[in-house]
Amino acid sequence: MQFELTDSRRLTGANLYWEYPSAIIDVSIKCAPEEIIAAWEKAAREWLDPVGYAEQKTCYRVYDGGASLLVSAPIDVLYSMCELNETAWASAVASVTGGTGPDPGEETPRLVRLFDEERNPDLLALQEAARKHGVPFLWDDDEVSLGYGASTLVWAPDALPSPSEIDWPALGSIPVAMVTGTNGKSTTVRMTAAIMKAAGYRAGLTSTDFIRVGDRVIDSGDYSGTGGARMLMRQGDVEMAVLEVARGGLLRRGLGIERADVAAITNVAADHLGEYGINSVRELIPAKFIVSKALIGNAPLVLNADDEGMVHYASTLDQPIMWFSLDPDNPLLAESTACGGTVCYLENDWIVVAQGSRVQKAVQAKEIPAAKGGIVRYNISNAMAATCIAVALDIPVDAIRKGLAKFRGDEHDNPGRGNWFEHEVDGGTIRILVDFAHNEHGMKALADAIRQVPAERVILLMGQAGDRLDEDIADLVRAACSVWPARLLVAELPGYERGREPNEVPQLIRREAIRYGIPEDAIELFPGPGQATAEALIRARPGDLLVLLALTQRAEALALVHEYLENTPGNHG
């Protein structure tokens, strides 16, 4: 089949393609795309006119193997516009292939009816009034709200007030930060929340594990998308917020909120390639930079000056940038401060903030528990990103120091990410690391830390979900095997095969490990992470470092570790 529609969805906010809410379809095209895309654009224009939306715009993005095709829409008719977009695609395919397309006599009345039923002029009136008054506006299928935090007002979409009934001066905003990136975003979000708390604010955060205000966990689960952002901003007790913004949510729905006071990108590396038409790191970088579209005026974008791809892309932007770097001699730092900019860097174990000619020592790396005495350099980098966010929000350096020092980075502050355990037994120390490293970039950073930890043997447990490309899994395996594990325990991830055959991914990991140089008899396969974790703990002996890459079932892995520590004679910390 030359042409196939593979996905149809709404983009509810600013997105990779433009600023407009849109109906988008992803299509597979197994030939030159020009003719079918031209036919789709023509068909879209023809269908837009009879439903009363001739002024809406179209755009597209071509990628290897297909294209994304968009039609803009007011927020009250996005579902109907998805129907129209699919109809336009069917019409285009018919015109190119000589097949039978949608019958205008039947399809036009159907589309007109859908648009008429979905229209909500009260919603659009409230949206426009909020824009004029500079008040935050959020909407979804279940709720519409104005304001953030304590000033928030919420209504059902079918029970909206007239703009004239709103006390607009009573509605306000709160400081908001966004964090995205391939690795480190969850940790950076949680470090930032710890700093906000140290500054005296009731901090709210969204993440891939939970949504929380202060010490109150609102719900557990992946809340790194648009729904989590809206839920948090509607909480009456949140005073300052930091949102984890994942690639999937950005590509699936666009931005969850319209404006932020600062946004940070920790890094961009290969992960989840092949989804939503993003097939390379070069294509992934603009997707991460979607967060910059929430920044208005002088609101800064915090970027990693050690990431070459980000540095190159940033040169195309007209946006205030706050750079951070592990290298105090990175030339971008001097260039920025010479122009009065703000930067953050590591120098002589100190995280330093330079604002133009003013230089302040914020915190020593050895004072940050998550940096484990300075050997976990990726967490120093995350701490610098959090420091930049805090500076952008006018949080004083004393609160930054206090917040980072109190962020332990353990399973309570940062579950499954850099959680270290030590157990003293007769004959030496058994060290255990539970971590979430799941791509080459993250694994290389973790391997650098592992090599600095004294160990007679490394026992490594790993697995991977099936929705990664073979080459990406191979890159992960090579990075993991660079620590030369004495035993490699490979676990299937039940429920995460993502279209692959059972045990296909573990066999791929095994083959790549052998190719790298790990002996065949040092590799074992397990049906799940729980069994592999239990076996690793049984095998542990003094001098070992157990590295448990808990991509799924992290709570179970941590519970097994605690059970082992409690039932094995010795002292643990």
What angle (nearest 5°) sits at the alpha carbon of residue 384, between those of residues 379 and 385? 95
pLDDT score of 292: 95
Q: Pick the closest to residue 553 from 572, 534, 573 (CA basis).
A: 534
Give the CATH H-level superfamily of domain 176-406: Mur-like, catalytic domain (3.40.1190.10)
pLDDT score of 91: 97
Residue/partner pairs of 553-558 with CB below 8 Å, 24 or more apart: 553/528, 553/529, 554/415, 554/416, 554/434, 554/436, 555/415, 556/529, 556/530, 557/416, 557/434, 557/529, 557/530, 557/533, 558/411, 558/415, 558/416, 558/419, 558/434
Name 526's Cβ contacts closer than 8 Å, sequence gap at least 6: 489, 490, 491, 492, 506, 532, 535
pLDDT, tens only, 503-544: 999 999 999 999 999 999 999 999 998 899 999 999 899 999
Tokens describing residue 544: 């070992």
pLDDT score of 1: 73
Give me the numbers of helices (H) and strands (E) for the chain, helices first please.
17, 25
CB 444 within 8 A of CB 479: yes
Tokens describing residue 119: 């229209």
The residue ranges of every structural domain in the chain are: 3-118, 121-170, 176-406, 419-572
CATH second-level architecture of 419-572? Alpha-Beta Complex (3.90)
pLDDT score of 495: 87
Instruction: Give me the helix-helix angle, 34-51 and 104-118, nearest 10°.
Output: 60
pLDDT score of 570: 62
pLDDT score of 355: 92
Tokens describing residue 16: 């990779």
CA–CA distances in Å: residue 313 to residues 286, 287, 564: 8, 11, 48
pLDDT in tens, the chain (573 residues): 799 999 999 999 999 999 999 999 999 999 999 999 999 999 999 999 999 999 999 999 999 999 999 999 999 999 999 999 999 999 999 999 999 999 999 999 999 999 999 999 999 999 999 999 999 999 999 999 999 999 999 999 999 999 999 999 999 999 999 999 998 999 999 999 999 999 999 999 999 889 999 999 999 988 899 999 999 999 999 999 999 999 889 999 999 999 999 999 999 987 777 788 888 989 999 999 999 999 988 999 999 999 999 999 999 998 999 999 999 999 999 999 999 999 999 999 999 999 988 999 999 999 999 999 889 999 999 999 999 999 999 999 999 999 999 998 777 778 778 888 988 887 889 999 998 888 888 899 899 999 989 899 999 999 998 888 899 899 999 999 999 999 999 999 998 888 899 999 999 999 999 999 999 999 999 999 889 999 999 989 999 999 999 777 778 888 888 888 888 776 545
pLDDT score of 571: 55
What angle (nearest 5°) sits at the alpha carbon of residue 268, between those of residues 263 and 284? 95
DSSP string, 28-85: EE-S-SHHHHHHHHHHHHHHHHHHT-TT--EEEEEETTEEEEEEE--GGGHHHHHHHH
Q: Scan for tokens 């020092």, then name that residue.
A: 405
CB 174 within 8 A of CB 196: no
